[in-house]
Amino acid sequence: MVKGLDDRQKQEISIPRHIGIIMDGNGRWAKKKGLPRSAGHKVGANKFREITKHCSKIGVEYLTVYAFSTENWKRPKDEVWFIMKLFKQYMNEALSDFSYENIRVNFLGDKNGFTEDLRNLIDKVEESTKNKTGMTLNIAMNYGGRDEILKAVKEIAMEAQKGAILPNDIKISDISDRLYTKNQPDPDLIIRPSGEYRISNFLLWQSAYSEYVFMDDILWPDFNVKDLERAIEEYSNRNRRFGGV
Ligand code: IPE
Ligand code: IPE
Ligand code: MG
């Protein structure tokens, strides 16, 4: 825990430039309390607001939150409907709330999966925050890492077909530059609460050298600033080598 560290130790804590969070465990949280899954999503959405503001405050440059995967559509219709309703509500609030925050909102995922009004709302939020100079908040919604890489591969294949690029000349950056995270640094730290030790299709390409912190003693709706600090402390103690020595 960061709490209880002396000043010297605190100075050794390095704040990751880019944090990814797989916001998992809403359903189990609700079940434990005898509530419908939707109640977990609602509390989870509020947690997301709180953690976003805190990350911005401590100097995180990029925060990517995984809110809905390309696979989550297979859930019961009423659950999907409720999540979309929450997302819409959040986007509407972000329009007024974020005018006071120096946060730029960027959307990761396939917008075509949404209704037209939601698509327009997303565009509006992106547009109205695009000149902010503080933290970039990436909201991954209808996002899948495989889907994202496939999209990039298709674009490159089209270019090759037109003769604009030679297959043998395709570089790693040709793929990176066609992802939703174009021009952004890769995530340094990826946090997953809820006790699941897997990636679930999150930032597959970008996480090649990310540090994972899986937390099995906390579900997302209970996650707070102290838990974020615990994860950052654990990250600070890792020795990142990127294949070197
Ligand atoms: C994460 O919580 C939110 C979404 C995937 C939309 P879950 O809904 O997956 O919660 P659990 O994993 O079932 O507890
Ligand atoms: C990953 O969680 C997606 C989000 C948190 C948005 P899931 O709950 O969908 O993942 P699995 O099914 O446990 O792998
Ligand atoms: Mg889950």
Q: What residues contact 35, with CB distance under 8 A and at least 6 apart?
A: none
- pTM of this structure: 0.95
Q: What residues flank ion ligand 3 with Cβ within 5 A?
A: 24
Q: Whose CA is nearest to atom 8 of ligand 2?
A: 24
| Residue 72 is among the residues annotated as catalytic for this protein | yes
Q: How many CB atoms lie within 10 A of CB 215?
A: 19
Q: Is residue 210 scored above 50 in pLDDT?
A: yes
64 CB within 6 A, ligand 2: no
Structure tokens at 7: 């000043």
Report, at the CATH architecture level, how domain 15-144+187-236 is classified.
3-Layer(aba) Sandwich (3.40)
For ligand 2, mutation pick of 21, 23, 24 (most atoms within 8 Å of CB)? 24
- In whole angstroms, how far apart are CA 240 and each of 16, 18, 122, 170, 212? 12, 15, 36, 28, 12
Does the beta carbon of 145 sit less than 6 angstroms from any atom of ligand 1?
no
- The CA-atom distances, in angstroms, between 4 and each of 1, 7, 226, 230, 233 are 7, 9, 12, 12, 12
Banded pLDDT at 96 (limits 50, 70, 90) = confident
- Res 89: pLDDT: 94
Average pLDDT score over residue span 178-197: 98
Give the whole-angstrom CA distance, residue 94 versus residue 88: 10
Sign of the dihedral through C-alpha 215, 220, 223, 229 = positive
Helix (H) or strand (E) holding 103: none
pLDDT tens digits along 56-84: 999 999 999 999 999 999 999 999 999 99
| Percentage of the chain modeled with pLDDT above 90 | 91
Task: Give the closest ligand to the alpha carbon of residue 203.
Answer: 2
For residue 163, report the phi and psi dihedrals to the nearest 5 degrees: 85, 10
Catalytic choice (26, 72, 142, 201): 72
Domain boundaries, the chain: 15-144+187-236
| CA neighbor of 235 nearest in space, from 13, 63, 5, 3 | 13
CA–centroid distance, residue 24 to ligand 2 (Å): 6
